[in-house]
Amino acid sequence: MTRLVIVGGGHAAAQLCASLAEGQFKGEVVLVSEEAHVPYHRPPLSKALIKDEAPVLPVLRPDGFYETAGIQLRLATRVLAIQRDAKTVDLQPVHGGAVETLAYDHLVLATGARARRLPGLPVKADGVFQVRTFDDTLALREKLATVQNVVVLGGGFIGLELAATLHSLGKKLTVLEAAPRLLTRSLSPEMSSHLLECHQTNGLDVRVGQTVEQLVWNGEHIAGVQVAGVVLPADALLVGIGSEPNTELAAAAGLDCNNGVVVNEALLSSDANISAIGDCVAFHYPLLARHVRLESVQSANEQARAVAARLCGQPAKAYASMPWFWSDQGDLRLQVTGLWRPEYQSTLKPGPKPGSLSVLHYENGELRAIESLNSPIDQMTTRKLLQKTIA
């Protein structure tokens, strides 16, 4: 009997379970997640779930799936440490209790990422929110009725999604981005400025190159944010300043980590008995000839499928997948395939509707990436082509 232990209960872990079941994995599977919920979709947390009248946990697998597949769920339980020599992990219920030691034959780290904290926040900071989990979204929703002025710190994907959602609910929004443009590391300057323009046309107050001078408090509650000497009133402050991979467990166990658990082409860490998948992973991306870490559902799912295939005994294959992701920001649907680099040559392609646009990026005449705003057709026609350049 082989025991596979999965640490984490997000997209990567859920897909791994599904693919193991499909591949008729012979061993025992134990999934340990510190969240109290079964694995669920994270993308709706900053979009539909804020608006839905009665939010329901958007589960990734239907009721009874884990039971039927024979997968043991250990929810609200945190893995505290990995003993690589003994091939065991220490677990503890998140609300306290005895530490238990569980043996594994193979371990999969699917620990994801967490929202980066704003430094210097007081211990009690009422009205300050971050959205990474279902419970975070519920906490934000609970306060929305009493909120009118909202400041969003960070013009990244989650900040812009939340801002567009709250704007559509009639809240008065200001988005403050410290960098001179939106999504500096993820988007080309062309798409970045087009996105900014579209948000501003939609009436969203998005300001780039804005450094927060100080937060203003009314007792323990946020009251405003000072920028360029002016205080913007804020009943709520949403912090979306990026995320950090959950690699502490791996690093403490001596696994190679560098902005993610470093894995080889088979998605194995520096220990051949430990794989890693999803947002917590730094994997080799051949087109840039270096390791990258992505935060994308597609990437988490495809890595999970690749590891499941290996664990089910299929012939080893190097993991090679063209990354793609989407971000719905109100009525703006941003889709990106491939990873943009500043050295690429870029061409603009107006889309079928007013305001829709694709930016195609080439290296020595070869297509490397495409970014589209409200132009899904361009994504559909180029994604397969791009996939061929990597596989």
Ligand X SMILES: Cc1cc2nc3c(=O)[nH]c(=O)nc-3n(C[C@H](O)[C@H](O)[C@H](O)COP(=O)(O)OP(=O)(O)OC[C@H]3O[C@@H](n4cnc5c(N)ncnc54)[C@H](O)[C@@H]3O)c2cc1C
Instruction: Summarize as ranges the residues that interact with ligand X (CB under 6 A).
Output: 7-13, 32-35, 42-43, 45-46, 78-79, 110-113, 131-132, 158, 246, 249, 278-280, 295-298, 300, 325-327
Minimum distance from CB of 246 to ligand X (Å)? Answer: 4
Task: Strand 345-350: give its sheet, edge to edge.
Answer: 324-329, 332-337, 366-373, 357-363, 345-350
Cβ atoms of residues 177 and 192 within 8 Å:
no
What CA–CA distance (Å, rounded) separates 151 from 235?
A: 8
Minimum distance from CB of 279 to ligand X (Å)? Answer: 4
Minimum distance from CB of 301 to ligand X (Å)? Answer: 8
Closer by beta carbon to ligand X, 112 or else 224: 112
Cβ atoms of residues 390 and 292 within 8 Å:
no
Closer by beta carbon to ligand X, 71 or else 79: 79
Closer by beta carbon to ligand X, 30 or else 231: 30
Closer by beta carbon to ligand X, 82 or else 204: 82
Minimum distance from CB of 358 to ligand X (Å)? Answer: 18
Minimum distance from CB of 5 to ligand X (Å)? Answer: 10
Residue 205 is which amino acid? Answer: D
Closer by beta carbon to ligand X, 221 or else 291: 291
What CA–CA distance (Å, rounded) separates 169 from 148?
A: 10
Minimum distance from CB of 386 to ligand X (Å)? Answer: 16
Closer by beta carbon to ligand X, 37 or else 221: 37
Cβ atoms of residues 243 and 257 within 8 Å:
no
Closer by beta carbon to ligand X, 251 or else 391: 251
Minimum distance from CB of 143 to ligand X (Å)? Answer: 17
Minimum distance from CB of 66 to ligand X (Å)? Answer: 15
Minimum distance from CB of 114 to ligand X (Å)? Answer: 8
Q: How many CB atoms lie within 10 A of CB 237?
A: 26
What CA–CA distance (Å, rounded) separates 282 from 293?
A: 4
What CA–CA distance (Å, rounded) separates 316 from 259?
A: 26
Structure tokens at 229: 């000497």
Using DSSP, state whether 295 is helix, strand or coil. Answer: coil
Phi, psi of 227 (to 5 degrees): -135, 140
Closer by beta carbon to ligand X, 186 or else 192: 186
What CA–CA distance (Å, rounded) separates 245 from 226?
A: 30
Closer by beta carbon to ligand X, 113 or else 222: 113
Q: What is the secondary structure of 99-164 as a DSSP string? A: -EEEE-SEEEE---EEEPPPTT--S--BTEE--SSHHHHHHHHHHHTT--EEEEE--SHHHHHHHH
Minimum distance from CB of 108 to ligand X (Å)? Answer: 10
What CA–CA distance (Å, rounded) separates 375 from 246?
A: 34
Closer by beta carbon to ligand X, 73 or else 227: 73
What CA–CA distance (Å, rounded) separates 96 from 78?
A: 10
Nearest alpha-carbon partner for 213 in 201, 197, 225: 225
